[in-house]
Amino acid sequence: MASLVSNLQPVLPNSITKQPSSRFLHIQARVVVPSRSQNPRRPLRMAQSCSTHAGKDHPVIQQQRIIIQNNYGEKLVGVLHETGSTEFVILCHGFRSTKEHNTMVNLAAALEKAGISSFRFDFAGNGESEGLFQYGNYQREADDLHAVVSHFCGEKRVISAILGHSKGGNVVLLYASRYNDVDTVVNVSGRFNLERGIADRLGEDFIQRIKKDGYINVQSKRGTNEYSVTEESLMDRLTTDMRAACLSIMKDCRVLTVHGSVDEIIPVEDALEFAKLIPNHKLHIVEGADHRYTSHQIELASIVLDFIRAGSQQDKDMPNQFDGLSVSYKGFACLVEYHHHLGMYVSVAAVS
């Protein structure tokens, strides 16, 4: 069992608008929550009021630049697409890409049109964010994503989905394998076998060269240095085990893998491997799509939206589950229930 001290501001059941009695107000209490093994996917989030100023038919869109500090003191820069929805999706770009990549921008626009708020951001060392670019950095980018999720949870947001394209697809899957706080994950063209694809960028003799010199400079077609690969960053990639990560994802985490049938960067066979190992998984192959979904952006957005909406509807249809938790302080006590559609615990009754 784990415990958490929190200020409890209860919400009355059945949307009753009358004022609660004074015995409920601003109670500081120790809440006893089941351990991870007993209740692995329920971070305790106390009820808060939430107002929606935009409907699905006429969303009011506000875009705001937001800076979030990661665990390494680096500032991550992102763009919030605010529609006023309770649903909130975080978008993660791929290798040597940014939040301004067409796929990120177009998905955010599609979510806007559906009335769903989203946040697209640059990983450390990419785009506008601080830090040095590193070739590997898979787990560290999962840490960046955790900093972003934590920030918006602190802002009383309920994260309905995380989505990543290419390397970002690996990052969201690694995140799901480490943290059990997001129920819907979308992997767009992620790579399963991280040993593949290296020689295409670094040359067939990359192991010998990096052992000899300690680094490899990757050059553009024009002959200019684009970035350097250190032995440490290369080993970061080679030791990242996507098979183990897939097997560690909880069964109640819904995962969608989308992959183009003619992906020229990551073979479609990688998507089939994800489908074999992830417990609660759906696979969608987009016929004729390349790695960047150059001619299939609208189709990609439609697939993603359908999956996110299905998860939201499933949460709404699921009845509230009573967890038998009690909260008490100086003789006052109440019971709390976990409301799946809100993603939080709500106090429902006083206990004598």
Q: Could you give all domains of the chain from N- to C-terminal order, each with its CATH number?
A: 63-193+242-314 (3.40.50.1820), 195-239 (no CATH)
* SS3 letters across 252-284: CCEEEEEEECCCCCCCCHHHHHHHHHCCCEEEE
pLDDT in tens, the chain (352 residues): 333 333 333 333 333 333 333 333 333 333 333 333 333 333 333 333 333 344 445 556 789 999 999 999 999 999 999 999 988 999 999 999 999 999 999 999 999 999 999 999 999 999 999 999 988 899 999 999 999 999 999 998 999 999 999 999 999 999 999 998 999 999 999 999 999 989 888 888 888 888 888 888 887 778 788 888 999 999 999 999 999 999 999 999 999 999 999 999 999 999 999 999 999 999 999 999 999 999 999 999 999 999 999 877 666 555 544 444 544 444 445 555 444 444 444 444 555 4
* Cβ(232)–Cβ(214) below 8 Å: no
Encoded tokens for 288 = 């004729």
Q: What contacts 227, CB < 8 A, 6 or more positions away?
A: 96, 133, 135, 217, 218
Global pTM exceeds 0.75: no
